Amino acid sequence: MKLLAKYCLLLIIVVANIKAQHYKVEFKPTDILYKLNYPVKVAILQFSGKGAFEKDLFVELCQNKYIRKQFEINPFESLNKIKNIFGIKDLDPDDKTVLMKLNKNLGVEIVIAGTVSDIGTELIIKRAEDGEELFHITYRVSTNSSILKDIMMLFVENKIPEYIILHEIKFIITPDTAELIVDSINYKQMREIYLETGFHHVYVKKDGYNELKINIEVSKDKNMEYTLVLKQIYAVLFTIRPEVAFLMIDNVLYGVERRVMLEQGLHDVIIKKDGYKRLYKSIEVKLGGANSFPFELEKEYEVTFNIIPSTADLIIDEIQYNQKREIKLTSGTHRIVLKKDGFMETVTDKYVGTFAHQLIKIIMETEMIKVKGGEFYMGNNRNNKHKVSLQSFEVDKYEVTQEQYEAVMGTNPSYHKDPKAPVENVSWYEANEYAGKVGKRLLTEAEWEYTAKGGIKGIESGNLYSGNNEIFPVGWYKANSDGITHPVGKKEANELNICDMTGNVWEWCNDWYDESYYKWGEDKNPIGPLTGKERVIRGGSWNSKSTYCSVFYRNGSNPDLIYNDVGFRCARNVE
């Protein structure tokens, strides 16, 4: 093709051994800009004027630093200067066809108007006035030379573009036949290339191997050699039920695709579909193996958990759900764990059936003590002592605390705020409501006195207070409380290992209060009068004298009223 045709608009150039910069400017018909890029220098020639070679020829060389030189060249006398600039050897000014010979490690390929021949590319320069051919150069490119085949368009707008500092980058790639692509330029099997300073996206690929994508930073201070290894991949077949489930492998979503290519070794597989339990598996892809994996998802059913207290943390099959209560579970038995401050950790197994909208109710436990039933004398000689028989029951080890009450009832009415201290400022009705919500009840007065005395074992000791004949070791009362309630369990327990039945707060009992009840009450599992105006309170409080804290002292209070020294504990029948 003629280089300087009458209406020549652009020249397309292939750059050797570097990545070149693109410019977008207006191109005049008689202006030609082409760029030859060598490993250690860049030569840019600009021909300008109404006709080629009518004005100066500007040559700029780049070797580590930018050096600008200007030559006034008469094309009729300066072929040898052009020869020196390009390193052309054996250039004969009288010969119209000249072979351009380059150094052994250099390569150049010039494309004119997009055409490249197998034997080389012709560059023909003619006189502008009459079209006479000045010289004719054919660039021959060896097939085994390292050449960057980067085609780009260059335009010029009456100025020389800025130069770019280039750095030699070496890649060692396994397998060596893999294709190297940098910044969308395919270098194929080239391994030594030239890149400008900055970040570059590297992409290496080969059929039958995993693609590799990395970002590299090129600078004079960075490592200029990169070793990249592609891993061979194998066909893996998945058989999944239901068929429309989504497949994810190593955090890559394959959707409903069932034949995938994977590296040899272990892989994490996730299979999911709405209405089915998500499946997590680890598979091993083996060299020469069948590599076929069948999976079937389990259908899930909606389960609602009613947990008391409602703020308890829910754990199912070691999966943490916290306060979530609407859960989808597969059919079968599941291990349920509940945790909440102030309550005993609850561990139970629950079965989920194959039907929708199932309800599971679980009440968390506070620590309770089993009290073996027996006969004992209620009261003392001064208050109608009489014999009573009780069946076995369970009782809270501690008075109900503020954090327990708030977890169930949603509020803490106490005057003395401390989550570990007993709740107070609660009426009998509120105490009874709490007990019902947690599947318990208030103690009868007979149960309370039997427990405070330490059961059969403690009754034999005849202690005045619960667990001791002296009040100070076992109870908070007016002389040692500093006018406040105290956290439960800080005083000594009684013979049944039950705490705070002396002092701290009075405790509501289930019975109506009747001062003369001991004269005519039942002798077997008594529940107190059928009616009355007050409910029984026992045990004394932080504000009581020691006399009112004894295991014998009886008292009553209006069940509608609240006091900052009255609380409660719960009991439960033993089946």
Pairing of strands 570-573, 393-396: antiparallel
Which is it for the CA torsion 410, 414, 419, 422, positive or negative? negative
Q: Are 14 and 115 in contact (CB under 8 A)?
A: no
Q: What is the pLDDT of residue 382?
A: 63
> Which residue in 163, 184, 194 sits closest to 23, CA to CA?
163
Alpha carbon of residue 18 to chain centroid:
42
* For range 435-452, the mean pLDDT: 96
Neighbours of 193 (CB within 10 A): 22
For residues 457 and 294, which has the higher predicted lDDT (pLDDT)?
294
Interatomic CA distance for residues 47 and 50, integer angstroms: 10
- What are all long-range contacts of 279-287, with beta carbons under 8 Å and residues at least 24 apart? 283/236, 285/234, 285/236, 287/234
Residue with tokens 């680890």: 282
Domain 166-229, second-level architecture: Sandwich (2.60)
SS3 assignment for 469-514: CCCCCCCECCCCCCCCCCCCCCCCCCCCCCCCCCECCEEEEEEECC
∠ CA 105-117-8, nearest 5°, is 105
Could you tell me the pLDDT band of residue 32, with boundaries at 50, 70 and 90? very low
Map residue 417 onto helix, strand or coil.
Answer: coil
Alpha carbon of residue 515 to chain centroid:
66
> Which residue in 489, 436, 185 sits closest to 308, CA to CA?
436
- Residue 161 backbone dihedrals phi, psi, to 5 degrees: -60, 160
Interatomic CA distance for residues 355 and 300, integer angstroms: 10
- Report the interhelical angle of 402-409 vs 428-437 (nearest 10°): 70
Q: What is the pLDDT of residue 248?
A: 96
Interatomic CA distance for residues 387 and 391, integer angstroms: 14
Q: What is the pLDDT of residue 192?
A: 86
Q: Is the pTM of this model over 0.75?
A: no
Map residue 72 onto helix, strand or coil.
Answer: coil
Interatomic CA distance for residues 306 and 317, integer angstroms: 18
Going across the sheet that includes 225-229, the strands are 192-196, 166-174, 225-229
For residues 84 and 41, which has the higher predicted lDDT (pLDDT)?
84
Q: Would the pLDDT of 99 be above 80?
A: no
* For range 518-542, the mean pLDDT: 92
Residue 385 parent element (H or E): none
Q: Would the pLDDT of 118 be above 70?
A: no
Instruction: State pLDDT tens for residues 360-419.
Output: 999 999 999 999 999 998 877 666 678 899 999 999 999 999 999 999 999 999 999 999
Q: What is the pLDDT of residue 219?
A: 83
Looking at the chain, the domain(s) classified CATH 2.60.40.1120 span 166-229, 233-296
Q: Are 18 and 193 in contact (CB under 8 A)?
A: yes
Interatomic CA distance for residues 80 and 365, integer angstroms: 103
Question: Hey, what are 333's tokens?
Answer: 């038995």
> Which residue in 437, 441, 450 sits closest to 501, CA to CA?
450
Q: Would the pLDDT of 78 be above 50?
A: no
- Residue 217 backbone dihedrals phi, psi, to 5 degrees: -110, 125
> Which residue in 376, 397, 366 sits closest to 500, CA to CA?
397
Interatomic CA distance for residues 347 and 198, integer angstroms: 59
Question: Hey, what are 420's tokens?
Answer: 């570990």
The CATH topology of domain 233-296 is: Immunoglobulin-like (2.60.40)
Instruction: State pLDDT tens for residues 330-367.
Output: 999 999 999 998 899 999 999 999 888 899 999 999 99
Region of poorest pLDDT, from 6-20, 210-224, 457-471, 551-565 = 6-20
Looking at the chain, the domain(s) classified CATH 3.90.1580.10 span 369-573
* For range 70-93, the mean pLDDT: 40
For the chain, percent of residues with pLDDT exceeding 90: 57
* For range 67-92, the mean pLDDT: 39
Interatomic CA distance for residues 122 and 98, integer angstroms: 10
Map residue 211 onto helix, strand or coil.
Answer: coil
Interatomic CA distance for residues 55 and 72, integer angstroms: 8
What superfamily does domain 369-573 belong to in CATH? Answer: paralog of FGE (formylglycine-generating enzyme) (3.90.1580.10)
Q: What is the pLDDT of residue 185?
A: 86
- Alpha-carbon distances, residue 233 vs 177, 260, 267 (angstroms): 16, 9, 12
Neighbours of 15 (CB within 10 A): 25
Interatomic CA distance for residues 211 and 233, integer angstroms: 10
Q: What is the pLDDT of residue 383?
A: 61
